Amino acid sequence: MKKESWILAVVVIAVIMTALDSSVVLLAFPDITQTLNTNVSSSIWTILVYMIVTVVATTQLGKVGDIYGRGRTFNAGFLVFIVASAICGAAPDIWFLVGFRILQGFGAAMILANSGAIIADTFPKGRLGRPYGYLSSGWGAGNLLGIVVGGFLTTLAGWRYIFYINVPIGIVAFIIGLKFIKSTGTLQRKFDFTGMILLGAGLLLITFDSLSAASQGVSFIDAALIIVGILLLVLFLYKEKKKKNALIDLSVFRKRIVAFSLLAAFFLAIGAFAILFVITLYLQGIVGLSPLNAALLLAPGAVIGLLLSPSMGRLSDKIGFRAVATAGVVFFMLSIIAYLTLNIDNFSPLTVIIASILSGFGTAMFYPSNNAAVMSNSSSRYHGSMNGLLRTLQSTGGLLSYVVVLYISSVVVPRSVAYQVFVGTSHLLGGLTSSFVDGIHIALLGSLVLVIIAGLMSFARGNYSNRKTRRKS
């Protein structure tokens, strides 16, 4: 087995584990709430803090990898993730668990911020599509396994084992990573601490207070802090233009393909994540399915994405990023249109499965080609920070989609009920059902608009391919 194959294997395993832990808690949520003697509003943070940390930290940790070594940062993150997983499994109360989910999220951010950069360092630009396809498969596999494994382990052994399972697998992969993943090509520059603080504080205020407003209602304090967060991001961009050791190389945004690829990823994340949230609400709150049964109906899409991503990535190497990625966005549009046919009296498991498969084709076609478009058109010196920025935009989009769903659902049902439906601890009865379905349709239409915007951004990037990039470089 070649060295590059070992590196790819370790990176994919790490991505599977970090993706798994972003969704695995969802199926164990009722059990965690009950066994730790807490309530929904407290235990929901076991899900949210992991997402918030990965949003806030990935760009900064990508830059850390550029300066101090991507392999060193990746391996350290893997170790942090493994240790935090073991401690989460032994958590005696809910806030102990939340605290070490923060540490676990930090380890995940170290992995995710540098995984794509390590791939870009290992494989030539003309062959990036296929390894990014495997990376996309790893993300899809992690989400799928998180849903299925979370349900089975919680049922058979208890929720603590959804964290304990990371330890033996992680140790083996960590040892292999130490052997094959080395730090090369580090930047001899000082770290941009001012940029790190401005970006981190801005993202934290926006994401945290948006979630707070969505779950508890808009308050003056939340609105004010969100505005402060936006102003901090504006100040960050202003200062970054003048810095030689900038956290993000803003000059890459002069490249049309990079700028539009990043925008496409951001808008698709908001729209695509919202689809999963909304359909989960429908299947559990309206149809009355258990979280595990709902997940099994949605699993075919994850399987399709898992199986086809490498070949779709290879296809983008041959015919160009724009064609494959934009076609993927079209499949997401078709998936939403299929979901829009669902209502109270017209629940069809087949429709859900078909829509899920369509989204699976979208995943397989968009993400490998879009990621390759960003990384192959970025300077190798900034692979870490660019990969971190890409991950940050996608994670921020995912969080915003959650905010959008809670806002829309809370218009027609109480926020407390919307929370409980989402996490599978309750379902709707009586007159609320019709109103909630109307709210779901509005959410899906909003998702469709966002996905259409993503498609326009994807098409506007221009028709480039890895092969063209290689000839130009």
Q: Is 171 helix (H, G, I), strand (E, B) or coil?
A: helix
CA distance 179 to 168: 18
pLDDT single digits (tens) 67-102: 888 888 999 999 999 999 999 999 999 999 999 999
Q: From 1.20.1250.20, 1.10.10.10, 2.60.120.10, 3.40.50.1370, which CATH number describes the 3-192+243-472 domain?
A: 1.20.1250.20
DSSP 150-185: HHHHHHHT-TTHHHHTHHHHHHHHHHHHHHH----S
Please state, in angstroms and as integers, the Cα–Cα distance from residue 304 to each residue in 4, 116, 206, 298, 384, following that order. Answer: 25, 22, 34, 11, 29
pLDDT single digits (tens) 413-448: 666 666 666 555 555 555 566 777 777 788 888 889
Average pLDDT, the chain: 81
Tokens representing 189?
Answer: 């520059």
Q: Who has greater pLDDT, 41 or 301?
A: 301
Torsion of CA 254, 264, 398, 103, to 10 degrees: -40
CA distance 343 to 434: 9
Q: Is 299 helix (H, G, I), strand (E, B) or coil?
A: helix
- Domain ranges in the chain? 3-192+243-472, 193-242
Helix axis angle for 256-281 and 383-412, nearest 10°, is: 30
Tell whether the model's pLDDT for residue 410 goes beyond 50. Answer: yes
Please tell me the pTM assigned to this model: 0.78
